[in-house]
Amino acid sequence: MTRPWETWRAAVARHQPDYQDSVELNEVVSTLQHRPPLVFAGEVDHLRKELGRAGRHESFVLIGGDCAETFAESTANQLRLKIQTLLQMAVVLTYGSSMPVVKIGRIAGQYAKPRSSPFESRGEEVLPSYLGDAVNSFEFTAESRLHDPKRLLDTYNASAASLNLIRAFAKGGYADLRRVHEWNRGFAANPVFARYEQLAQEIHRAVRFMEAAGADFDSLRQVDFYSSHEALLLEYESALTRIDSRTGLPYDTSGHFLWIGERTRDADGAHVELLSQVRNPIGVKLGPTSTAEDIKRLTDRLNPQGEEGRLTFMARMGAEEIGSALPPLLEATKSDGRPVTWISDPMHGNTISTANGFKTRDFDTIMSEVRSFFDIHDAVGTVPAGLHVELTGADVTEVIGGSEGLDDLALEQRYESLVDPRLNHQQSLEIAFQVAEMAARANEGQTSQASSPDAFAVDDWHLFDTSSQAGRLL
Ligand code: TRP
Ligand code: MN
């Protein structure tokens, strides 16, 4: 039976696995179709509204996590480290920018990767590339590199188990602002660590003050934490799409926020077709060759009605190219008029290779792209609404630079990523401090203030006749 959102089957689908056994694939798809949803329509709707607010400059979006998750590393400890780092970044950004932060993990589903080449050769041997744990295994043997549909079930299971833990962290006390100090525990002492400690102390005092004053906010105790991944594998995403009983509309229940990669964002392609059918907020990665025409066509396909929060563009231009590549795209969205949320991905356009054979990124280049992103928005009069980074909570050495001054040689110490190099804990916090300052400056320039409720007019205090002392309150 084809379901309404399976129109993608008629379109060109790039970067899909090449499964040998279609009977086995169909069994897997049918099993997935009967599994419970991983996320719920109400949560997805809520996130869409939050992204809409960010697009109006009333909040700031933080998306972070692994380039590619692996089943082996989806352990309680690794997940906790990532959540811990993201919470710390969120605190820094919230405090520094005075804006609410929308927290999204690149997590609980980020198991598939499009690769530049379908094959990898080592010496004489040529095998299919590693496409992420959702498709095959990293080990360089013919058997491991076979595209195995059963891995889609493992992907569902790993995502479900991860989300379960993340929900417990988000709602069960771990994310309580009163624990702001504890999130820094277990990390090496260094200048960024110390700067965080100081901020944590200020927050701690503020929280204690509010408690003493009798304020008791539930919002201090928990966070809304959302999941996201690249919606690459069409069979998987399609199998997890469900009709919501309340609205009668389809939602892709594999994650809250789904994005389309630079390599699959063809407006006529299968990825855009599938995601045009679901209610989730959708992201599209835009590289330096994107045109104003792409913006128009993607908006027509993905957000024809101009709904706030529905469409996010994630600019991954490269520090060198952003100055020429981004302005015409911002102008295009501005003149189009339909709302869009703009996020900076300063990682993917800045990958380099070192002499000693590592794929890396330079911290300063990353920062330079983010800074340009803010400056260009300022010049065009559009809203810099968020940041998307690849990070891990551990003390890996994959990105060079930062205040630790990691160099090419340091990459040999602890390089663990199977795909792209990630910011380590310290570099992640460092970015958060710097971006908080940029966001604060951008926020000052704006007229619409972040979520301040209608203030009591000053004049309302003059209820009493000030000529007579008798009526004075104080
Ligand atoms: N609930 C608020 C928020 O999400 C405050 C908050 C609680 C918070 N725990 C947090 C903020 C951890 C950042 C990090 O913004
Ligand atoms: Mn990546």
CATH number of 266's domain: 3.20.20.70
pLDDT at 344: 98
User: Quick check: is 459 in a domain?
Assistant: no
- Predicted confidence (pLDDT) at residue 392 exceeds the cutoff of 50: yes
Ion ligand 2 residues within 5 Å by Cβ: 67, 420
Q: Tell me 423's DSSP state.
A: B
Q: How far is the CA of 399 from the centre of ligand 2 (A)?
A: 13
User: Quick check: is 92 in a domain?
Assistant: yes
Pocket test for ligand 1, best of 181, 219, 223 (most atoms within 8 A of CB): 223
Total domains in the fold of the chain = 1
Q: Phi and psi (nearest 5°) for 92? A: -60, -45
Pocket test for ligand 1, best of 89, 177, 207, 222 (most atoms within 8 A of CB): 177
309-330: per-residue pLDDT in tens? 999 999 999 999 999 999 999 9
User: Quick check: is 169 in a domain?
Assistant: yes
Q: Nearest 5 degrees, angle CA 60-CA 234-CA 287?
A: 45
Q: Measure the CA–CA gap between 129 and 144, rounded to whole angstroms.
A: 10
Residues with CB under 6 A from ligand 1: 87, 90-91, 94, 100-101, 175, 177, 219-220, 223
User: Quick check: is 458 in a domain?
Assistant: no
The domain of 411 spans 4-114+149-447
% the chain with pLDDT above 70: 94
Q: Residue 46 in 3-state DSSP?
A: helix
pLDDT band at 112 (very low <50, low <70, confident <90, very high): very high
User: Quick check: is 128 in a domain?
Assistant: no
User: Quick check: is 121 in a domain?
Assistant: no
pTM of the model: 0.94
User: Quick check: is 36 in a domain?
Assistant: yes
393-418: per-residue pLDDT in tens? 889 999 999 988 999 999 999 999 98
Q: Phi and psi (nearest 5°) for 260? A: -110, 130
Q: Measure the CA–CA gap between 117 and 114, rounded to whole angstroms.
A: 9
Q: Residue 205 in 3-state DSSP?
A: helix
For the chain, the distance separating the N- and C-terminal CA atoms, rounded to the nearest angstrom, is: 74
What is the helix, strand, coil percentage profile of the chain, to 5?
40, 15, 45
15-51: per-residue pLDDT in tens? 999 999 999 999 999 999 999 999 999 999 999 999 9
User: Quick check: is 285 in a domain?
Assistant: yes
135 half-sphere exposure, CB direction, 13 A CA radius? 26
